[in-house]
Each structure stands twice: as structure tokens, then as C-alpha cells.
Amino acid sequence: MSDPRQRQQDITGKPPRIEPLAKEEMGPEAQTIADRIRSAAGATATGEVPEMVGTMLRHPSLYAKHVELGTELLGNGALSARHRELAILRTGWLLGAPYEWGEHVGIGKRAGLTAAEIERVTQGSVAPDWSAEDRAVIRAAEELRRHAMISDATWAELATFLDETQLIELPYLIGNYTKVAYLQNSLRFRLRDGNAGLTAR
């Protein structure tokens, strides 16, 4: 990405394409999903619904499945938190996704990534100082973005430290966060407070 600030401006510098539901617009299905998300986040039932959630609740049945998959990958996934976040961050950077990148900088730091490592993710697998395992995970994200498949060489390297469950999960994870980036970028979600977008480290 040649100019992250311009990329972010192109997405978040314009109004969202679909406004979030107002609380009084929420039907029973949307309200149930909103309550479930608030509960999972430790918020009260009367707490404010995040803007992104309010927008997605315009399609409550689809969003419920989206949340279910995301919760499984983030909370119950087979990959280590470090490898998961390296894969998501590289995907978010390659797709120029301000919302995804900014959110996962925070999540990645909680998983143990340093600001220097997050900066290095922007350079990709060619950057120096990655371990062989980290480099293979990042390269898998790059190959999926470029070729829609993981090469034999990278797969063989991944198979030296990932089991079959993890090998299945990795392209699934990267595909899911590709979808998330497409959605967030296309709907032009505004960044939440504390999310610096593509400038976050």
C-alpha cells in the first residue's frame, strides 16, 4: 500500500453507505442478537450498540451466523493467538482495511505482538527477523491474496508445525477476514473511538 492515510481517507472519509438501526427500529430478532453481543463483550443490556453492529442488524439472520463464526475463530480456534493475529493483520493490511487493521492491532497486542512486529507485518514475509513459523503464516496470507491458494512449498513448511486441524483453519481464517474486510470497506464503517485504522501500531 503506497499511501495508507489516503487509503483510509478514501474509505472512512465518506459517510457510511448504510446507517445503523436506531434502537426503536430493532425488531425482536435484532434485539436478541444485540443483547447477545453486549453480553459477550461484558456490556449491560441497556448499553449502546456499536455503530457497526447496528448496521449489520439490518440483516439480523446473516449477522447472527457471521458473529457465530467469528466467535468460534477468535475464542475457540485451533491456531495460536499469535499466528491467528499475524494472519489477520497481514490480510487486513493487504486489503487496505482500516477498521479490521485497527481493531486487530489491539487484539494482536493482547496476544503478545509488539508494535515493532506489527510494523513489520506491513512489510510482509520478506521483512527480516521473523521466525520460520511466523514467516510461513504471513506468506500463506500473501499467497492466498495473490493466487487464491497456498503454494506447495509454503504448505510443506506450515505442516512442520501445524496439525491437520490448524491447516484447515488457517485458510478458513484468512478467507473469513477477507470477507470481513470487503464488507467493512464497502459499507464504509466509521472507526470506533480508540481505533486509529491503518496508522495503528
Whether pLDDT at 48 is above 90: no
Yes or no: say if 51 and 20 are a contact pair by the CB < 8 Å rule: yes
- Per-residue model confidence (pLDDT) at position 30: 86
Rounded to an integer, the average pLDDT of 8-12 is: 97
Rounded to an integer, the average pLDDT of 92-109 is: 98
- Per-residue model confidence (pLDDT) at position 29: 85
Least confidently predicted of 2-6, 28-32, 81-85, 118-122: 28-32
Least confidently predicted of 67-71, 79-83, 144-148, 163-167: 67-71
Res. 32 pLDDT band, cuts 50 70 90:
confident
Residues of the chain above pLDDT 70, percent = 95
Q: Return all residues near 90 (Cβ < 8 A) that are at least 6 apart.
A: 121, 124, 138, 141, 142
Whether pLDDT at 40 is above 90: no
Distance from C-alpha of 152 to C-alpha of 44, rounded to nearest angstrom: 48
Domain ranges (residues) in the chain: 18-75, 81-199
Whether pLDDT at 159 is above 80: yes
Least confidently predicted of 33-42, 58-67, 88-97, 178-187: 33-42
Instruction: Please state, rounded to an integer, the average pLDDT across all residues of the chain.
Output: 94
Yes or no: say if 12 and 201 are a contact pair by the CB < 8 Å rule: no
User: In whole angstroms, how large is the CA radius of gyration of the chain?
Assistant: 17
For the domain made up of 81-199, give the CATH fold.
AhpD-like (1.20.1290)
Q: Which of 117, 114, 142, 113 is nearest to 127 (CA)?
A: 117
Encode pLDDT of 58-76 as tens digits: 999 999 999 999 999 999 9
